[in-house]
Amino acid sequence: MSFSRYNAYRIMWVLVFFDLPTETKRQRSAATKFRKSLIDDGFNMFQFSIYLRHCPSKENAEVHIKRTKRQLPKEGKVGILCITDKQFGQMELFFAKKETDLPIMPQQLELF
């Protein structure tokens, strides 16, 4: 059985949702550090507390999920969701009541 190495069922998107407290200076610092760790790991902001990352495979997605778990702040709520490119492509996005396009899939260069 042969399948394309890159197809909509193998390519994954990792979404990180979070609600972190920001009442004290320490909490704001921890929230900023967590957001920066996501950006440093290649995540892009989708909404203020939702970041996403395109991954070429489930195995690659698991690497980024583990990195995210190592950076979890001591307070707040964090959710991590991994979906296929096919599922991501079925999302409907709206800005107010006007439908918008999905984010452009980044060109992924994989070096071995």
Decide if 84 contacts 41 (C-beta within 8 A): no
Return the percentage of the chain with pLDDT > 90, whole number. Answer: 71
Residues comprising the binding site for Mg(2+)?
19
pTM over 0.85: no
Q: Which domains are delineated in the chain?
A: 12-89 (3.30.70.240)
- How does residue 53 score in pLDDT terms, banded at 50, 70 and 90? very high
* pLDDT for residue 2: 46
Residues comprising the binding site?
19
* pLDDT for residue 66: 98
- How does residue 38 score in pLDDT terms, banded at 50, 70 and 90? very high
What burial letters (b/e) apply to 58-88, b meaning 16+ CB within 10 Å?
A: eebbeebbeebeebebeebebeeebbbbeeb
pLDDT in tens, 74-84: 999 999 999 99
Higher pLDDT, 66 or 89: 66
- Mean pLDDT over the full length of the chain: 89
What is the DSSP code (8-state) at residue 18?
Answer: E
